[in-house]
Amino acid sequence: MLLGLNLFGLLIGGIMLASNYENPDLFMTIIMNMLWTVFNVLLAGACVAVSLESRQIRQSPRVSATLPAILQTPDGMAFRCDTHDFSEQGLGVTLPPGVQIAPGSLVGVTLTRGDDEAYVPCKVVLCQGQRIGVKLEPLTPEQAFNYTQMTFGRADLWVDAWNAAAPDAPLSALRNVLNIGVRGIRLFAKLSRDTLTEKLKHPGIGKARSSSDSQVKQP
């Protein structure tokens, strides 16, 4: 609604510009208002684009980190590997070349840090080439404590992540917002066009709905 009103305002502004180009003061006033309206249109378009995006819901946060680990397979083999991320419910593990593990396999992962180790039983739930995703099996209180200490409790992990963070770039952030706004305007135009086309193909749908609503409201 807000985006449509601002677009309508731009249309009216264009008409007023065409009819008042001989009045410099009024012309500049209209220009300033139209620039502000364009900014509003981009912000409203960004809101439309965000509202139409599908939500990605994770049950637990996932942290990207390369941690040394040892993977124990069901047949008793053990391989040195690295994690590429972890969460409260599982790990992402990068297997060494030539090692393949089938989905559904029960494995053990031992996270190492110096002389400290944390063993957790896991189940393979995802296989993508040399990368697998494992879900933690039910842990004992001691296993859960050790796992937390080796992952979320590592101070060096968070320090490295903060040092690697990109510095703030206000102009780049503004450019991204404006790009999202343009995408939202295109989505708004497409939805409006599709809605209008649907109404032209089935002109009786709106009337049928109105009549049914009026019948429901009658005592």
State the average pLDDT for the chain: 80
- Among 95-99, 115-119, 168-172, the range scoring the smallest mean pLDDT is 168-172
For residue 157, how far is the Cα from the chain centroid?
23
The two structure tokens encoding residue 38? 């364009």
Question: CA 91, CA 100: separation in Å to the nearest integer?
Answer: 17
Q: How many CA atoms lie within 13 A of 137 on its CB side?
A: 12
Question: CA 62, CA 126: separation in Å to the nearest integer?
Answer: 15
Kindly report the CA angle at 109 between 107 and 115, in degrees rounded to 5?
150
Q: For residues 140 and 23, which has the higher predicted lDDT (pLDDT)?
A: 140
| Mean pLDDT, residues 33-58 | 75
Do the Cβ atoms of 45 and 185 come closer than 8 Å?
yes
H/E element holding 120? strand 116-128
Q: How many CB atoms lie within 10 A of CB 45?
A: 26
Residue 167, pLDDT > 90, answer no
Residue 204, pLDDT > 70, answer no
Question: CA 68, CA 174: separation in Å to the nearest integer?
Answer: 39
Confidence of residue 217 (pLDDT cuts 50, 70, 90): very low
Per DSSP, the three-state class of 25 is helix
> 48-62 as b/e, with b when 16 or more CB fall inside 10 Å?
bbeeeeeeeeeeeee
Q: For residues 106 and 50, which has the higher predicted lDDT (pLDDT)?
A: 106
Do the Cβ atoms of 94 and 84 come closer than 8 Å?
yes
Per-residue pLDDT at 193: 81
CB within 8 A of 179, min separation 6: which ones?
Answer: none
Per-residue pLDDT at 123: 94
Question: CA 41, CA 26: separation in Å to the nearest integer?
Answer: 22
Q: For residues 64 and 108, which has the higher predicted lDDT (pLDDT)?
A: 108
Per-residue pLDDT at 32: 87
pTM: 0.51
H/E element holding 106? strand 106-113
